[in-house]
Chain A
Amino acid sequence: MSLFDKEFNEILSGQIVSLIGGLIAGILLAVYTDNILLIPAMFILIPGFLELRGNISGSLSARLSSGLFLGVIKPKINSDYLLVGNVIASFILTLAISALLGSLAFLIEYLIFGILFVKIIYIAIIAGLLANIISIPFSVYFTFYLFRKGHDPNNVMGPFLTALGDVVSMLSLLAAVVLV
């Protein structure tokens, strides 16, 4: 079994895409250090928030892909109840888990570091809402687009959604910090 076979190249391509997204997110962190990192509990929030986008968007794309291949969803943006249901569920999940992440960050910061900073919960929720507005339509549109072009979205969307999730999460957190 050769090292640089097709599988190696596929995995490497996906990882490079993810790396680009991570680097952009990291650069945003470095550039806006004062805005983001000097806020209490932000470092507690960031890991979970970065992971959340990948989980939600990735699952949405995977469910839509399954539906497309099974023929129960058409690759068309309309008011189909399966599509609408998936989008609404993803929105609700993001808001619920963002609130949970914010609450956990608040509790850990208060109980362990003794800093009372309730705004972290609002920052998490607003950032979750903003991230949803960008990443959910992107996930839906590109899943359908890839399927219409004859590709398997499962093979392509994973790394792209991870990369997009990193960038969108950072930008959303920054915007939420400014708004709150």
Chain B
Amino acid sequence: MKVRRKEYHPLIRQVHKKHNIAKRTLFYVKEYCSDRNVISVILTESLKILILASILSSVAGFGLENLKQQFITILPLLILFPVLNGLGGNYGIIFSSKYSTMIHEGKIKHNPFKSKELRGLLIDLMVIGVFTALIASIFSLVFAGLKGFATTPSITSKIILIAIIDILLVSLVLFLISVFVGNYVYKKREDPNNFLIPISTSAADFLNILILVGLIILFF
């Protein structure tokens, strides 16, 4: 995988050729191993994506603020929210990093949807998603019940459905984002790892909240 020349100092190529030290090692040393550089490099490289993620989260949070009353009155939803948020974010990271690795290893040919390994990964994550959503819903209903919330069969089934549908939809959309963005970035001769993970985690949080808001409006 070629990284654009301006990412590497020209000296790195010479040192790599002469002393056979990995370019990645030299890149890390160049980026971080200088008194003046380490803080400014980290701040410069991280700020943009963190600002974007913050804006997306705040916009999504606005959707939640509109449904504040529902969240406060339907206690299991309140308990479920951080769980679904965390699970969605993790899926973003898992899909992105695994897809990037598959691309680098040449396991993705022309049509990524024909890749057995990729389909296997999607199935794995969907099965895990359903299982964890079910466990999370049950625990949230139990704790809500202990706090005096009336867990009727109707509400129980709605909470479980919301959790499962939310996770399944988030998994599917993240899968598509990872595939399309990953392929696009790779064709531009960039390392998907640098783009996919921040994009996927931001998208996961934003999507998760949007889908959750939509499902709450639908079911309640």
Contact = CB atoms under 8 A, between A and B. Distances in A.
Interface string A66-100: 11001010000000011001101110110011001
A145 interface: no
Given A26-B80, A47-B57, A21 B43 contact: no
A16 interface: yes
B136 A96 contact: no
A101 B147 CA distance: 31
Given A47-B61, A50-B85, 9 more contacts: A22-B84, A25-B83, A30-B75, A31-B147, A37-B72, A43-B68, A67-B32, A92-B39, A93-B47
A100 B51 contact: yes
Contacts of B39: 85, 88-89, 92
B215 to A, nearest CB: 16
Contact of A47 (B43, B85, B87, B127): B85
B53 A85 contact: no
Interface string A7-36: 110011011101101110111011101000
B124 A86 contact: no
A153 interface: no
Contacts of A162: 86, 89-90
A113 B53 CA distance: 23
B194 interface: no
B83 A51 contact: no
Interface residues of A, number: 65
Interface stretch (B105-113, B138-146, B153-161, B184-192): B138-146
B209 interface: yes
A109 B65 contact: yes
A97 B50 CA distance: 7
A118 interface: no
Binding site secondary structure of chain B: helix
Given A3-B127, A72-B32, A41 B132 contact: no
Interface string B5-40: 000000000000000000011001100110100110
Interface residues of B, number: 64
A48 B58 contact: yes
Binding site secondary structure of chain A: helix
Interface string A97-128: 10011001100110011000000000000000
B167 to A, nearest CB: 10
Given A89-B38, A93-B50, A51 B131 contact: no
Contacts of B46: 59, 89, 93
Contacts of B135: 19
Contact of B82 (A25, A90, A96, A159): A25
A26 to B, nearest CB: 4
Contacts of B131: 12
A170 interface: yes
B32 A96 contact: no
17 contacts: A12-B132, A19-B135, A22-B87, A22-B136, A23-B79, A26-B78, A41-B65, A46-B61, A46-B64, A47-B205, A51-B89, A52-B54, A67-B32, A70-B25, A90-B42, A104-B54, A108-B65
